[in-house]
Structure 1
Amino acid sequence: MSTNVLICDDSNLARKQVLRSLPESLSSDAQLATNGEEALAILRNQNIDVLFLDLTMPVIDGLGVLQAMQDESIELPVFVISADIQPEMQSRVLNLGAKAFLRKPVQLETLNENLKLHGIL
């Protein structure tokens, strides 16, 4: 069974870095979105199993995506990957349902630990 992954970040470099950090079992069918609006369109229309989400993006930011997911009862594991590591922001994303807050650039070991911890691997 394959895992449908969505990586949402406005930075092409960051999207590629997350994609390269994923185990092959997760990266083979990964989809990419450049902002929250694109991510929400994909989430509403496709079966996505896990979302890797940046916070600071144009159109709809990561907090907006998390809020929309909560409002629309879109339930799946979300891992926020951001350079905004302020404790208040970490608390906000976790309160909106994210499984973990990972510092950008994401470290391979940290990512894999969190994927195992939350039953993705």
Structure 2
Amino acid sequence: MSLPIVIADDSLLARKVLTKALPQDWDVDITYASNGREALEHYRKGRASVMFLDLTMPDMTGYQVLEALQHEDLNTFVIVVSADVQPMARERVRTLGAVAFIAKPVTTEAVLPILKEYGLYV
């Protein structure tokens, strides 16, 4: 059975780049979200065992998604993918429960070690 993942980013180009950076042989079912509210809706429908989450999105930011997940005691592997590489941003997303932070532009070389570390890809 495919692993359900959500890629949440308001940029279509960023969603495409991230999709191409995923291992080609990784058995996943990808759902896309263009804002944080959509990402949470997909999670609640069981489509996000793993969530790749941008921080800067309209309607609901990645930070707000992480806060909602934490507040509602929801459980998913969240990997933040953002151009905001300030140490403060990295620290804040870890505090809010993200398992990793990847700087944009995303590459397979950046994604693969994280997936392997958490047993999401072998």
Deviation of residue 79 (structure 1)? 0.3
Segments of 5+ residues of structure 1 without an aligned counterpart are none
TM-score, L = length of structure 1: 0.94
- Kindly provide the CA deviation profile for residues 41-89 of structure 1, in whole angstroms up to 9, marking residues without a partner as x: 1111224210000000000000000000011111011100000000001
Residue 89 of structure 1 aligns to which amino acid in structure 2? A
Q: 1:92 to 1:72 in 2, by over 3 A?
A: same
Partner Cα distance (2:71, 2:81) in 1: 21
Name the counterpart of 1:92.
92
Segments of 5+ residues of structure 2 without an aligned counterpart are none
- Kindly provide the CA deviation profile for residues 15-65 of structure 1, in whole angstroms up to 9, marking residues without a partner as x: 011111112344752000000011111111224210000000000000000
- SS at 1:110 equivalent: helix
Name the counterpart of 1:37.
37
**Number of aligned residues:** 121
Name the Cα RMSD after superposition: 1.3
TM-score, L = length of structure 2: 0.94
% identity of equivalent residues: 45
Residue 53 of structure 1 aligns to which amino acid in structure 2? L
More helix by share: 1
Partner Cα distance (2:33, 2:47) in 1: 15
Partner Cα distance (1:117, 1:28) in 2: 17
Name the counterpart of 1:63.
63
